[in-house]
Structure 1
């Protein structure tokens, strides 16, 4: 579909004028997506009657910031009456359909937003590509021969394609950051909090974070003001550390545009910080795989063997390998985690943010998604995961229509730093 996106305010106006029409138009847009592609993006939607009622109820509170705005939930978040499948073939068989709503969904609806459906993901959120054996690979919204990125693939596709102005994701190892960068949209992941633990099926609980996508800096700023509610908003210019040199394989255009943007938002380079980061993150992809998989095994161990054949095999392997790590590997991984946390703490004692590329390249094809590519991608995203810091992803659009992105890591969820950065971008 790839229509011109309607922003948050445009949806508010449409829904206020005719809630029933807004519901019909939304479902019509979904029906217009070819069925094979739709299956890889949308897990489920409400009935026309249910959606119309939700728009009608929302329209009765026009003072709410997100009144009449449809949002999609990544299919890890619970909402009553809809099974949570994690885009697997069997989770709904062993986990009852939820009777309680996830904390994140409830926060959206308390601000007037309208639940409009659930989106697909990499199975059990254990992947960064958007590939799924059971429902099909989620294509890039503009380049269907390429991948959307994942694991929050369906949500990213829906926002970039103009289906909704905001959609939720989770990010454990990069699952908001990668699709935001590849799909040319803004992404926000917060530090682990109640949104990532209450009513959200886990991948690796201590690393899991909640967040969402928006198509524009303006919408992302409005969503942060509404949902996160920064404790104070200052006018001072931010200052940050520029670490783009830690990803030397960036294409020249990406590097040039990142450098220009970082100068605009107050980031400076530091050879000392660059070297310290490289020292702290040595072998980080392996170390992160060790600790992430151990936590994932804790989630899946009751059914991992009995249902082995129902998993996408690479996902099963990523979980099962946790049984084989040595004591030395676990200890080394924990030490790496401590080094990375110490590095970011030291940086953020003196700066407002740290900037790192989100990926090593724009979106790739499925055949290019090798284990080597995935390992390098994790080298870029895992430091942020180890840090548990909130991260704003800013898209970097290239001349050919593809995109890359920047991770902006900052100190705590209720900081006004992302608003200050987004204001400079506007």
Structure 2
């Protein structure tokens, strides 16, 4: 960014942002080819290590590039003048003027950018394979097609941010995600596994339990479950947990509701019901409901799936294409690297990186396959509000300031 000419900083840095999506595409390609080259048993036993071994080559290339990098002209001039920071950590985080910029960048930009990036790529992959039960071959091909179609948009929105500003484009990407994630993922269900959508409408499944004390309580339980998984704590499973896990493992969406009188746990499927948790009784009750074990490939609307995934990728491009230029312009040169590192890595590594785990926990605890989307929707909405109120446009800011 500091090497880019004035007026082209968004365009130049967007090429760097493009590499993350291309890296995801290449990883899918390597895994796809590896799985095709061997049996499922071999891949499970040792083949999964092959992609990691291939990545060693990329590590060597990245180290070589890093060793060849030179300081930017802006920083080199400041260094020659003796104006570099003597205590960058203190100046970045202990002085309110700079710390405020860090918080604005985190909550007004990178947190929303992180969840939109992960939802549009990684969570979409998880949703197709785990929730909609689409086989990995078709999922990889559909995701790969959307990635290739959407990748040029990263360059486009980087270029556009040089003309109309970074803030508006990133804010629009987050706002569109907030408004459309639910209908987009409903559309993916109809396009990739219509039999599942039909079964959910025709024969809804309800789990009546004495452990249900409202939506807020379930949300807190889901958050606690995600936290336990992150730190590796063990969990003692109740009968409701066993029933909930059974339904999730069999790909059965359900609604969690209060217990009926006299029964602490009851499963209802259409007109039939089962008290307590009994795996065989659950299987017998669910069999006539028509919930598919996997997506019917003959009914998958591939063009519609790619179209919806492309829309998700366009949101990724809107928030991610301009973000590097925005962060560089937000902070003063003497503490720029230190200051921008924290919001970028917290926003992407924590808010975004934990998204699949948190969203999956919400889905497991609620039984609603779309409930996990409220996590990225909530974080993106927060970034929209913070950005509107506190974050200023940076497009015309000089890096020498």
Larger Rg: 2
Is TM more than 0.5 here? no
Q: TM-score, normalised by structure 1?
A: 0.27
Structure richer in helix, relative to its length: 2
Which has the larger share of strand?
A: 1
Higher relative contact order (CA 8 A, sep 6+): 2
Q: What TM-score do you get using the length of structure 2 for normalisation?
A: 0.29
